[in-house]
Structure 1
């Protein structure tokens, strides 16, 4: 095989992978996945089947966006954690750092080997996915940004994640299905 054909084959493979992930996301449900607890052990998504919602948020302490969202994520956890919403803060490697581990400050975090971020179709840190138990899997109710101002908390005008959780707990549709997230690219 010539090296000239290699870029075309890689592009075709990437396109196929993108279509596959897009198809899985368009179906609106995800299956089980397991992440490692930073203190040892593991947790599977299926363990939260009895919750009203599960919020999976991807973080990395080397990413400035993770640091900017730290207080807002703690506030969301405090506001919804006791109301049947489980939060999974998942630490992922990013293209900017060589630190594969780490934590999310005061928040309990997990480590992703790529299974969770791939299954949920996320590509950036501080990207959130809201799931609800549905049959043998979880229905994706929201995927994207936490709010409309990743840099200045006092400048937030639309708190997407907060609004989605309020709507779901009140028995209403999520209201918004997705919003493009800003953050550091997850290393694959």
Structure 2
């Protein structure tokens, strides 16, 4: 009788151990990647632009880098920055660092047709891409709209050099003290260190 009880005890231990190991394995399978950090090489993508054409970073043969900006139609923060994003593209596209805007949202008002309407209404000078299936923004680790990733085009790929906010005042462009993105791009083009190379993105959470 005692032998049976001991055997049963060890059997329970084995079952518990197996269940625990399976739980650890399942937990590992559900770990979410935090996205790119400074110095990481960002993978290329192919996303549909509002003109219906597919756009990839590799399409820009003469680019020195990219301002990949996750934004959308509906977020008040994103709307407040639209004119500044247009200005960034106007200033830096001719210098080899174009804006590539990506809408990662799936909520009402952020569909492809609405994106086309917004791009036409505002006169976007840059690609406004639809992250269909929300496959690209998790790779970058974008969490807000807007959220900026400055990439430098190198022989080893598109290296992340700055992550964060556009500037320090989303409410009023005339009251900005620090132009984080402009300072970062200027430093990149001058071959200087970017400082700061990360800031906190301020905006709406991606839906």
- Shared fold, TM over 0.5: yes
CA positional deviation for 1:146: 0.2
1:61 paired to 2:76:
no
Q: 1:36 aligns with which of 30, 33, 48?
A: 48
* Aligned length, in residue pairs: 175
Segments of 5+ residues of structure 2 without an aligned counterpart are 1-22
Q: SS at 2:87's partner residue?
A: helix
Structure 1 length-normalised TM: 0.82
Distance 1:98 1:61 in 2: 7
Give 1 or 2 for the bigger CA radius of gyration: 2
Structure 2 length-normalised TM: 0.75
Q: Which moved more, 1:118-127 or 1:141-150?
A: 118-127
Q: SS at 1:60's partner residue?
A: coil
CA positional deviation for 1:67: 1.2
1:142 paired to 2:153:
no
Q: What's the Cα RMSD here?
A: 2.4
CA positional deviation for 1:136: 4.0
CA positional deviation for 1:132: 1.0
Distance 1:146 1:14 in 2: 34
Q: Which moved more, 1:79-88 or 1:42-51?
A: 42-51
In structure 2, relative to structure 1, the CA distance for the partners of 1:160 and 1:26 (3 Å cut) is: closer
Contact 1:94–1:184 under 8 Å retained in 2: no
Question: How big is each residue's C-alpha offset from its partner over 1:128-160, in whole Å with a ceiling of 9 and x where there is no partner?
Answer: 110012334210001110001111112211100
